[in-house]
Amino acid sequence: MDYLNYNGKTLPADSLLVGADNRGLRFGDGLFETIKYKHHQLILLDEHLARLWNGMKALQFDIPKLFTPDVIEAQILSLLKKNNHANARIRLAIIRGNGGLYDASSNAPNYIIQTWALPESNGILNENGLQLCIYRDAVKATDTFSNIKHNNYLPYFMGAQYAKTNKCNDAIILNQSQRICDTTIANLFAIKENEIYTPSLSEGCVAGVMRHFIIDELKKMGHTVIEKEMTEKDLLEAEEIFLTNSIYNIRWVGSIGNKMYKQHRINEIYLQLQQTNRGILC
């Protein structure tokens, strides 16, 4: 039997946790982090928790003094041990308690920690290129909350449904200006003429922890990385495309619609990053 952690209590993974009045259920009032555990370490944990704390402040949670990153880390490690997970995907969710739109009973954070086992091979660069499609029916706003991993997830959820229906591996999400934002589960990078491009945070993409890490590492290795407005035309003119997130690291995109992409530079980048960051990109 697997378990979860709810506000410090270990419960069976199928436990019912909230009632019909919960604001997280009613309004999507909360946010989350997805963290990888591998080789006895929580990968980029400090960066994940810094983003989470910034998100809680933006969403006006009242954070108790005893609710600290160290407490959350201890609770995660305890649950990993309880579930006997050597390699795992961790979801740390924060939701507000009960109440209507104007009358929350409390602004204190409630947290839910879940873990799922990952295969040892997780994080290895894919040999078969991903097939992406573009989702157009819901767009991502570019506002104060765009870069947070909050629970108001409609463009991403429906984009994932669209990708599944159309037999794609992932769907590209557009922003309100019909420019490239990110995908349903990853940040997007394009390579053209020895330069690497990615949508800037002002374009509404999630401020991915792995995105930030990869940009910094690529610059250290001498690559030119440009954060900019990106259009569908930029994708069509790109030579290679790759995605990044905290669970899969880097994944090669083989096609978007009828456009096919190579993977020569991506292979080189992946090997370079592995040599200098074995403990993280593995």
Domains, the chain, ordered by start = 3-117 (3.30.470.10), 130-276 (3.20.10.10)
User: Which amino acid is residue 214, in one-letter code?
Assistant: I
Per-residue model confidence (pLDDT) at position 282: 66
Residues making up the chain, counted from first to last = 282
Residue 230's alpha-carbon distances to 94, 136, 172, 200, in angstroms, are: 32, 16, 12, 9
Provide the residue-wise pLDDT of the chain in tens; the chain has 282 residues.
899 999 999 999 999 999 999 999 999 999 999 999 998 899 999 999 999 999 999 999 999 999 999 999 999 999 999 999 999 999 999 999 999 999 999 999 999 999 999 998 888 899 999 999 999 999 999 999 999 999 988 999 999 999 999 999 999 999 999 999 999 999 999 999 989 999 999 999 999 999 999 999 999 999 999 999 999 999 999 999 999 999 999 999 999 999 999 999 999 999 999 887 766 776
Which residues share a beta bridge with 41? 38
d(CA 238, CA 199): 14
Per-residue model confidence (pLDDT) at position 93: 97
Phi and psi torsions of 22, nearest 5°: -65, 130
DSSP for residue 139: E
Please say whether the beta carbons of 255 and 261 come within 8 A: yes
Per-residue model confidence (pLDDT) at position 123: 85
d(CA 18, CA 11): 13
d(CA 210, CA 212): 5
d(CA 94, CA 30): 5
CA dihedral 191, 243, 233, 140 (to 10 degrees): -140
Per-residue model confidence (pLDDT) at position 156: 96
Closest CA to 204 of 187, 219, 222: 187
Per-residue model confidence (pLDDT) at position 1: 86
Per-residue model confidence (pLDDT) at position 278: 60
- Beta-carbon contacts of 148 under 8 Å, excluding residues fewer than 6 positions away, are 31, 51, 54, 55, 58, 59, 206, 207
